């Protein structure tokens, strides 16, 4: 009723999966997005302060089975570093669950990173610092296909 189209849930997917399942059932997988942040393949929660024992791929599969379709995945070791995305992580997750919409976040530094992620099968990419520092521009993004 407030005009919110989508809700992104992060740590809650791990700490309160019953709530996330209920929200997915009520609002659907197009409106509830699961944010999975992690390092070394394991989910980080509480603003990246706590490392869990849950594999990122396992949480993604559990949430997908509950109706989630869209996953923002961030390698916290790469976020804001301009070192390039964790291609191995995205490749592995995409192979394990190819029908999920994987949204890459963290480390994207230039158009080559975007093209490489697209070649892996990811079409949705979050670009932050690269826009702020100008290594990617809005004009550049308008050219991306």
pLDDT tens for 63-88 read: 999 999 999 999 998 887 789 999 99
Asked if 38 and 56 touch (Cβ cutoff 8 Å), the reply is: yes
Task: Classify domain 7-143 by CATH number.
Answer: 3.20.20.70
What three-state secondary structure class fits 9? strand
pLDDT at 48 over 70: no
pLDDT digits (tens, 9 = 90+) for 32-45: 999 999 999 999 98
pLDDT digits (tens, 9 = 90+) for 92-106: 999 999 999 999 999
Q: Which residues contact 65 (CB under 8 A, 6 or more apart)?
A: none
Q: Give dist(CA 40, CA 85) in Å, integer.
A: 13
pLDDT at 11 over 70: yes
What three-state secondary structure class fits 104? strand
User: Parallel, antiparallel, or unpaired: how do β-strands 32-39 and 42-45 relate?
Assistant: antiparallel
C-alpha radius of gyration, the chain, whole number: 15
Segments making up each domain of the chain, as ranges? 7-143
Q: How far is CA 139 from CA 45, 111, 128, 135, in A?
A: 35, 11, 15, 11
Please state the pTM of the whole predicted model. 0.91
């Amino acid at each position: 009723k407030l005009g919110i189209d989508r809700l992104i849930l992060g740590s809650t997917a791990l700490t309160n999966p019953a709530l996330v399942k209920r929200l997915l059932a009520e609002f659907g997988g197009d409106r509830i997005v699961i944010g999975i942040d992690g390092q070394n393949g394991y989910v980080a929660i509480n603003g990246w302060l706590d490392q869990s024992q849950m594999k990122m791929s396992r949480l993604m599969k559990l949430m997908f089975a509950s109706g989630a379709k869209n996953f923002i995945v961030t390698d916290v070791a790469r976020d804001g570093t301009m070192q390039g995305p964790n291609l191995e992580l995205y490749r592995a997750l995409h192979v394990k669950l190819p029908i999920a919409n994987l949204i890459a976040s963290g480390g994207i530094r230039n158009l080559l990173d975007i093209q490489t992620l697209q070649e892996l099968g990811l079409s949705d990419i979050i670009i932050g610092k690269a826009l702020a520092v100008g290594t990617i521009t809005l004009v550049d993004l308008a050219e991306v296909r």
